[in-house]
Structure 1
Amino acid sequence: MSALDVDAVQAFVTIANLQSFTRAAEALGTTQGAISVKLKRLEDRLGHKLIERTPRMVRLSAQGALFVDSARDFLAAHDRAVAALSATRRRFALGIAAHVAGPEVPTLLARLNAHDPTLTIEVRLDNSRNLLDAFDRGEIDAAIVRREDDRRDGEVLAPEHFGWFAAPGFVHRPGEALRLAALTPVCGVHDVAIHALDAAGIAWTEVFLGGGSSVVSDAVSAGLATAVFSCRLAPAGTIEVSQKFGLPPLASSEIVLLSTLSDMQSRQALRTLAAAFREHRAHTS
């Protein structure tokens, strides 16, 4: 078998990550036709069909699923070899909202490091509002946050759904004020929840204010209060109690990636970050 073509393998991996020829072409700054030609060249070289494509869906074939991890390793090794020739390290500051950060964060950072070993990432964890302010002031170069208010910029990474969660033994009696736990400072989702309670005429009281998500999670898990959580980040052992206690539904939001980075290498790193985030969410949803 002849040597693999790096551009062809990159095309295949990008299609696999984004599950779209259109988005893959945009990410690589080329056309769908060029992407298709590169994929066909790789498939011919390997003697296997790697991508199955229909008008409604793009997915890995059985052979493609076997090859994709090795293909990523191949690209990472290529990038490390090229990076070894340069002593220049680049860096950018990445903000990740603490109430968005989940188990996928180590995977995302590991994928970024494998993609570009010359890139030093300075990670800042904070709430979305503070990170948006820091981004607007130019203090950070990119941010993964929950969309706030009517702000419409940013690349959508995934939808975010919310619920009212409490321990199975949590008791809320009719006529009593609903006991709430919340982060301090409060986030935008908490404000939305409070407005929803007020609109529904449900009395509430904040009985527990915590300085970190783990503190609030512990309070809810202990049955001291209820709280609003992303459905994917609710504390283990808690249950969604909106129907049980007649609590109002909460509108969904979006997780978005904001960036001011313009150089090609940094933007490619961000595309890798976005693809890894979507891939992880697809596997865990």
Structure 2
Amino acid sequence: MKVLDLDAVRAFVLVADLHSFTRAADALDTTQSAVSLKLKRLEAHLGKQLVERTPRVVRLSADGTAFLGAARDLLNAHERALGALSVERRRLALGLSEHVASTDLTDLLAKLNAYDPGLVIELHLGTSTALLAQFDERRLDAVIVRSTPDEAPRDDASVLFSEPLVWLAAPAWLPRVGEPLPLALLTAPCNVRAVAIHALDEAGVAWREAFIGGGVATVGAAAAAGLAVAPLARRVAPRGLIDVGARLGLPTLPESRVALHSRLRDPRSLETLRLLTEGLGSGG
């Protein structure tokens, strides 16, 4: 029976996640050559090529892709086994944009706790602008924020996924004839608010603020209650709201990017972030 070297498996998973031997070496506090040697020994042990190496790109082979899920399961099982004997308390200060947090946040937090029962999560919800400022001040270890295509991407941003913003309202909701379009918006400054207002102004659509909320949950509740239409991503909005943009002749809103900014490097924290980002991308 073949016994796998956990250090080599961990190096493989980090190379797969970070797409770089150099970044994987930094995360493991070792050298690039040491990581490369671990991978070669793992490949020799398995009799399969896991990683395709080119001067510019590091990507998984078909066998590497097939092995990745099992490798993660192996490392997670190892961590759980250690955790059963001794729970190490760790703290992560994370920032999550109000316009990114899904309605299934409860399920997502449960997954993080199941992976690492000793993890203390300090979760901050807020606007992307405010969270990035806190990240730059080193008050947060990582932030997940939303930006629009016209915003210049930062060098430290890792784009997780893109999704459209749409005009959402209750199914039977209609604006009053001859009156400005009532909007439910987050308080300024808010990138989504600014994008929506700009699109309406460019299209010559008259609008007014009907509801101003301190969070996406309150904005979604106002739309569901029939107070107004809200510019949101479907994934973060309450169930039951529908896209009324085409019906009302409203301008199409742009795709927006969800990006991760992180200074975390240790493998356990990186795995926690991966679970979080995958959960957000799938809606929880």
Instruction: Give the shorter-chain TM-score range.
Output: 0.7 to 0.9
Structure-1 separation of matches of 2:49 and 2:180: 58
Other-structure match for 2:228: 225
Matches within 5 A, 1:201-280: 201-261=204-264, 264-265=265-266, 268-277=267-276, 279-280=278-279
Structure-2 separation of matches of 1:227 and 1:25: 44
- Equivalent position amino acid for 1:201 in 2: G
Other-structure match for 2:56: none
2:24 to 21, 28, 43: 28
- For the residue of structure 1 that corresponds to 2:134, the secondary structure is helix
Other-structure match for 2:69: 68
- How far the C-alpha of 1:229 sits from its partner, in A, is 0.6
Check 1:42–1:169 CA distance in 2 against 1; reply closer, same or farther (3 A cut).
Answer: farther
Other-structure match for 1:130: 130
Structure-2 separation of matches of 1:79 and 1:192: 44
1:189 to 167, 192, 207: 192
Report the more deviating stretch, 85-94 or 145-154. 85-94
Render the CA deviation track for 1:101-140: whole Å, top value 9, x for unaligned. 1156556656655666665332222222221222233322
- Equivalent position amino acid for 2:129 in 1: R
Specify every segment of 5 or more residues in structure 1 that has no aligned partner in the other structure, as ranges: none
> Are the aligned partners of 2:89 and 2:119 in contact in 1 as well (CA < 8 Å)?
yes
Structure-1 separation of matches of 2:281 and 2:194: 29
TM-score, length of structure 1 as denominator length: 0.74
- For the residue of structure 2 that corresponds to 1:232, the secondary structure is helix
C-alpha root-mean-square deviation of aligned residues, in Å? Answer: 4.0
Specify every segment of 5 or more residues in structure 2 that has no aligned partner in the other structure, as ranges: 26-31, 53-58
Check 1:234–1:88 CA distance in 2 against 1; reply closer, same or farther (3 A cut).
Answer: closer
Check 1:186–1:282 CA distance in 2 against 1; reply closer, same or farther (3 A cut).
Answer: closer
- How far the C-alpha of 1:171 sits from its partner, in A, is 0.9
Structure-2 separation of matches of 1:171 and 1:8: 60
Other-structure match for 1:144: 144
The percent of aligned pairs where both chains have the same amino acid is 42
Render the CA deviation track for 1:2-60: whole Å, top value 9, x for unaligned. 322213433565577x4xxx71645523489657635534644xxxx79799xxx9687
- For the residue of structure 2 that corresponds to 1:191, the secondary structure is helix
Check 1:186–1:219 CA distance in 2 against 1; reply closer, same or farther (3 A cut).
Answer: farther
- For the residue of structure 1 that corresponds to 2:235, the secondary structure is coil
- How far the C-alpha of 1:186 sits from its partner, in A, is 5.2
TM-score, length of structure 2 as denominator length: 0.74
The question of 1:156 aligning with 2:175 is answered: no
Check 1:135–1:223 CA distance in 2 against 1; reply closer, same or farther (3 A cut).
Answer: same
Check 1:161–1:78 CA distance in 2 against 1; reply closer, same or farther (3 A cut).
Answer: same
Report the more deviating stretch, 141-150 or 92-101. 141-150
- Equivalent position amino acid for 1:96 in 2: L
The question of 1:2 aligning with 2:2 is answered: yes
- How far the C-alpha of 1:164 sits from its partner, in A, is 0.7
Report the more deviating stretch, 202-211 or 89-98. 89-98
Number of residue-to-residue matches in the alignment: 271
> Are the aligned partners of 1:8 and 1:39 in contact in 2 as well (CA < 8 Å)?
yes
